[in-house]
Amino acid sequence: MDDRELLDTMLRLVASEPSERGLMAKGVALLARERPHFNWIGVYLLQGGMLVLGPFVGKPTPHVRIPLGQGICGAAAQSGQTIVVDDVQADPRYLACSLETRSEIVVPIVRNGRVLGEIDVDSDAPAAFSEADRLLLEAVAKIFASRL
Ligand code: SME
C-alpha cells in the first residue's frame, strides 16, 4: 500500500485499538509488513532518562534499555530530531543490534515539545531510507504521540 493508505490504516488502528501498547504493536507490525526494507522496527519509550524497548518486529536486540545520549537512539531522543544514518559502520555513535544492519533511521515521538520516545528502524541495505520513509515515519510518530 502507498503511504496515504498506510497512514489511513494507522488512523483506523487508533480508532479501533484501545490500549497504547496494542496500537504501537499493531502499528510496527503494519510498517514491517508493508515496507520490506524495514528489517527491524521498534518503539522505545523514554522513562526517567532511559529509552526502554517496547513493541518491536525483528530479531531480539541486546539494547532493551539505552541511556539518553547513547547510541543513535539516544542522540535522536536527546535532540528531538530525526536521525538518518546511511552507513551505520561509519557512525561512531552506532550501537550494533544485528551484524546484518547497514542503515538506520530514528524518529522521535514528540508531544508539546517533549520527547516521549522514538521509532527506530534498521535496514540490511545501505542508505535504505528515503525522504518518503522519513515523512511516513514522522507522521506515524505524530499519531503515536497523540496516544501516549
Ligand atoms: N542501533 C541503535 C540501537 C538499537 S538497535 O538498533 C535495535 C543505536 O545505535 O542507538
When pLDDT is averaged across residues 27-40 and rounded to a whole number, the result is 98
CB neighbours of residue 148 within 10 Å: 15
> Contact, 47 vs 67, CB < 8 A?
no
What is the pTM assigned to this prediction?
0.96
| Grid cell locating 142 | 505524530
Smallest CA-to-CA distance from 42 within 57, 20, 52 is with: 57
Q: What's residue 97's pLDDT?
A: 85
State what percent of residues in the chain have pLDDT above 90: 97
pLDDT band at 148 (very low <50, low <70, confident <90, very high): confident
When pLDDT is averaged across residues 97-124 and rounded to a whole number, the result is 96
Q: Are strands 65-67 and 83-85 parallel, antiparallel or unpaired?
A: unpaired
Q: What's residue 147's pLDDT?
A: 85
The verdict on the CB of residue 72 being under 6 Å from ligand 1 is: yes
When pLDDT is averaged across residues 56-84 and rounded to a whole number, the result is 96
Quick: pLDDT tens for 2-28: 999 999 999 999 999 999 999 999 999
Position in ligand 1 atom list of the atom nearest CA 66? 10
Give the distance (Å) from ligand 1 centre to CA of residue 129. 15
Q: Ligand 1 pocket: which of 66, 89, 102, 124 to mutate (most atoms <8 Å of CB)?
A: 66
Q: What's residue 118's pLDDT?
A: 98
The domains located in the chain, with CATH, are 3-145 (3.30.450.40)
